[in-house]
Amino acid sequence: MTPFVHFDGKNMNKLIYPSADVTPALTVQEGGKIGTEFSENPISVKAYVADYEADTPSLHKLKGLSDNNFELSGVQGLWNIEVHAVFPYHDGLDNSNPTYRYVSYELGIDMMSMAFTKNANEIGQNVCANKDIEIAKVSGPGGLLEQPANFNFQPRTNNKSITINSNTLSIESVKGNSSYIIDLGQEMPICSLSLKFSNGDKVVNHFSIQTSIDGNYFSKPIYYDNTAAVSGQESYDISSDFPVTTRYVKINFDGNTQGDVYAPMQLRVLGNS
């Protein structure tokens, strides 16, 4: 695999830019598995199917198996496999501010369909229109925001301004690990979250997504990083079996390669409205 983004614990560099014109190095089969090996033991490894050809680049999380293996899923065709690995930071010094090293890798693949044929109902279940879903309420650090008006408030010193407007949640600045719960007002079939980090081409932001029917019990987190390929929007699939019918979407921000300060961002929920 070819290294894409490299963060050495202090500085981030982009070694290459994945091409939207994929030249497959491997032919794989949906439902099969891929494995990863490194010259040193990573702290964590995540793998995705990436689409850089779409108007909005997207990531589809692959299910993790044992020993850093992953199950292939998604839509058949030519794609990039993108692997994000985190390694311990070591510079031979007594570092009072410990951090980590991060490397992303990419590889072009041709994903073939499963050996057995899905029935019409199964195929239909995985169709996503990716339309904007209106946001009814948002709860997070400092309080609750509701439609239909725009809301600007400064509830805590670590939040400058948070607004919702129909289908977009805007966060001007957040410091620290924060979580936001988005209430769609009713159960809706959703497919992905669209996130736009203003510094997305310079910083790798770590976050996870969960869903819930009742707002109390949430699904297992799906962990993502933005690709650092663009400063504009990227979309992140909710599940390998999308769309998912849910009312609440929770996003947890878990720091980034600059620490724990998030620059302005915008978030939209996409699905079948």
The pLDDT score that the predictor gives to residue 231 is 81
What average pLDDT does range 158-176 have in this prediction? Answer: 71
In a domain, 215, yes or no: yes
User: Of 61, 88, 117, which closes a domain?
Assistant: 117
HSE at residue 267, side-chain half, CA atoms within 13 A, is 26
Q: Is the pLDDT of residue 157 over 50?
A: no
In DSSP terms, 35 is beta-bridged to 69
Q: Answer yes or no: is pLDDT of 269 > 70.
A: yes
Claim to verify: residue 109 and residue 154 sit in the same structural domain: no
> At residue 197, does pLDDT exceed 70?
yes
When pLDDT is cut at 50, 70 and 90, the band that residue 20 belongs to is low
Judge if 27 and 143 occupy the same domain: no
Residue 237 is part of which domain span? 131-271
Q: Judge whether 231 lies within some domain.
A: yes
Instruction: Give 30-44 pLDDT, tens digit per residue.
Output: 888 889 999 999 999
- Residue 196 pLDDT more than 80? yes
Q: What is the CB-side half-sphere exposure of residue 185 using CA atoms within 13 A?
A: 13
Nearest to 163 by CA among 177, 152, 149: 152
Tell me the mean pLDDT in the region 45-59: 89
> Between residues 88 and 146, which one has the greater pLDDT?
88
Q: Does residue 123 lie in a domain region?
A: no
User: In 3D, which of 59, 71, 70 has the Cα closest to residue 37?
Assistant: 70
Question: Is the pLDDT confidence value at 268 over 70?
Answer: yes
Higher pLDDT, 230 or 190: 190
Q: Residue 18: is it exposed, middle or buried by C-beta count within 10 angstroms (0-12/13-18/19+)?
A: buried
Whether pLDDT at 94 is above 70: no
Classify residue 82: in a domain, yes or no: yes
pLDDT band at 143 (very low <50, low <70, confident <90, very high): low
Instruction: Examine the domain organization and report whether 105 and 136 are in the same domain.
Output: no
Q: Are residues 42 and 80 in the same domain?
A: yes
Where is the domain boundary, 86, 117, 148? 117
171/111 same-domain check: no
Is there a single domain that holds both residue 78 and residue 172?
no
Residue where the block lists tokens 């309420």 = 137
Of the two residues 65 and 122, the one the predictor is more confident about is: 65
Comparing 28-37, 102-111, 128-137, 258-267, the range with the smallest average pLDDT is: 258-267
* CATH at 193: 2.60.120.260
Based on the fold, state whether residues 113 and 181 are members of the same structural domain: no
Query: What is the tally of structural domains in the chain?
Result: 2
Instruction: Determine, yes or no, domain membership for 122.
Output: no
Last residue of a domain, one of 85, 117, 149: 117
pLDDT recorded at residue 89: 81
Which pLDDT score is estimated for 156? 41
Asked whether residue 126 is assigned to any structural domain, the reply reads: no
More confident residue, 25 or 66: 66
Residue 83 or 263, more confident: 83
CA distance 251 to 233: 16
Residues 267 and 135 in one domain: yes
Same domain for 247 and 161:
yes
Separation of alpha carbons 4 and 234, rounded Å: 17
One domain, residues 68 and 103: yes
pLDDT attached to residue 92: 52
- For position 94, which CATH number holds? 2.60.40
Mean local confidence (pLDDT), 173-198 = 87
The whole-number average pLDDT for the span 132-158 is: 61
Query: Is the same domain home to 51 and 150?
Result: no
Average pLDDT rounded to a whole number, residues 142-162: 49
Q: Is residue 232 part of a domain?
A: yes
- The answer to whether position 38 is within a domain reads yes
Shared domain for 103 and 175, answered yes or no, is no
Share of the chain above pLDDT 70, in %: 81
